[in-house]
Amino acid sequence: MRGKKKIKGLGDVVSAVTTFVGIVPCEACEERRKKWNLLFPSRSKPRELTEKELCDWKTFKDNNPTLDLENNQRLFLCKIYSDVFQVPYYEPCLNCSPRPYMVMVERMDMIYKTY
């Protein structure tokens, strides 16, 4: 009996379905799987924010009303998001859509508002 693989995100779901129907994944498929897992992780329950994280998030929001992020702020956002949502650390591409950063901020705001 084969053990179940843990589904880490959308990439693993698509990979399981395509493998089931007989599609053999290539190197590009594997890269896409990893990227989709980072962009669309399985919904794990976020952990509670520490007092320091609450303070840091308030400061971050107060200093970034337009989400025009400097490099250190972008790195802070990626780090706190990965820590709180317990997902692998990921830095979205700077030259692509700002949507991944916006999603991170929206989800962090939802957690912050519960306090």
Give the per-residue pLDDT at 10: 87
Q: Are residues 69 and 33 in the same domain?
A: no
Give the per-residue pLDDT at 5: 72
Q: Are residues 105 and 57 in the same domain?
A: yes
Instruction: Return the ∠ at Cα 35 (arms to 29 and 40), rounded to 5°.
Output: 120
Q: Are residues 21 and 57 in the same domain?
A: no
Q: How many domains does the chain have?
A: 2
Q: Are residues 21 and 60 in the same domain?
A: no
What pLDDT, in 10s, does the model give residues 38-92? Answer: 888 777 688 999 999 999 999 999 988 777 889 999 999 999 999 998 888 989 9
In the block, tokens 């990227």 appear at 35
Q: Is residue 82 part of a domain?
A: yes
Q: How many CB atoms lie within 10 A of CB 28?
A: 8
